[in-house]
Amino acid sequence: MSLTVQIEPPRGATPSVSYRWDTDTDILSAQVDGSPPEGAVATVELQGLDGSWMILDVRGGRIRGVEIAVWPDVRKLPALTPPEAEPGDVVLPARHAATGASAVDSPLSVEVDDPERVFHFRFGPGAESRAIRVASDMLVDVEPSGTVAGIWFLNVPPFPLDQ
């Protein structure tokens, strides 16, 4: 099952994103700052075929937070340049955005640049997509079909033990 979304014009200024590392569990959390949209609160769990998973916190159909709790194998690259992105809101359909939880199974992979400040999580084999800037340092890749193809995290702070 895939995660299909709609792209809407942004509502107001692009919000910022705050990152937090949990040093006990290696969990990376990204929280979209600002006033959350009105509406139902839900959780969407993206499960990788290798046991990895990511949790999307959704409010009013919009992604407001992401937590990577079990990591897939990480492919480290010398450099990783995010694509040009257009501002917008990525809106989940009612079956995912309604109160409660749902799960989506997909191949999950991650690439990171050498200083580990840019992360790109991919869902599936990596098809043609466009990047939507949902927060200052968070992009969502969306295929022409409306399927989410990945999430970019930009300007991630270093893991605390690396400082």
Q: Is the pLDDT of residue 11 over 70?
A: yes
CA distance 96 to 107: 19
Model confidence over 15-32: pLDDT tens digits? 999 999 998 888 999 999
Q: Is 141 in a helix, a strand, or coil?
A: strand
What the block records as the tokens of 62 is 């919009």
Is pTM beyond 0.85? Reply is: yes
Q: Is the pLDDT of residue 96 over 70?
A: no
CA dihedral 91, 71, 84, 18 (to 10 degrees): 70
Model confidence over 31-85: pLDDT tens digits? 999 877 788 888 888 888 777 889 999 888 889 999 997 787 888 999 999 999 9
CA distance 41 to 34: 16
